[in-house]
Structure 1
């Protein structure tokens, strides 16, 4: 069976910045964001310490995942906040809850 693809949203400790990405290895990707955040700060996620997972969706195809990522990136912050809240009402960090 093929591994699923994920569209995910990460945030910083204070939940003030959002990062949206797509991956087929979510735990590895979260580790990469964390490493960049505490070390080189080369990426947007690293620069703003966006390595806490607050939202994700699973997809069977990379095309569907990329299409959804592009859709979410166009949304205004308020709409993204509502999406996250509908999935994760307390905005808990889900870093270890998804495999």
Structure 2
């Protein structure tokens, strides 16, 4: 079992990560363990999960993490709010009248 997740941090910043462990344990580490938390989240505690996807393999979760990390804030917010219809419009490759693949 693997997860890709988005954390909302103090101050409204978002952090995208992935883990091959239980999601709850990883979030606890972000909030409490200075050795295992990402430096980004250590400086912006507390954090909370606002979005998560489950994957069969860590490789797939990591691939999705990298994809989401490349998204602009507005597109991440649409994903979090479950506005999937807005995602193509918010793509960096999107232009008026064009249906390019979502990045």
Residues matched between the structures, number: 80
The equivalent residue for 1:92 is none
Q: 2:38 and 2:8 mapped to 1: Cα distance?
A: 16
Q: Does 1:84 align with 2:80?
A: yes
Pair member with larger Rg: 2
- Name whichever structure is richer in helix by fraction: 1
**Cα drift, residue 12 of structure 1:** 2.3
The equivalent residue for 1:97 is none
Q: 1:42 and 1:7 mapped to 2: Cα distance?
A: 15
Higher RCO by CA contacts (8 Å cutoff, separation 6 or greater): 1
Structure 1 residue runs of 5 or longer lacking an equivalent are: 88-99
Structure 2 residue runs of 5 or longer lacking an equivalent are: 84-103
Q: 1:35 and 1:28 mapped to 2: Cα distance?
A: 10
Q: 1:86 and 1:6 mapped to 2: Cα distance?
A: 17
The equivalent residue for 2:15 is 19
- DSSP 3-state at the match of 2:63: helix
TM-score, normalised to structure 2's length?
0.69
TM-score, normalised to structure 1's length?
0.72
Structure 1 runs (4+) deviating above 3 angstroms are none
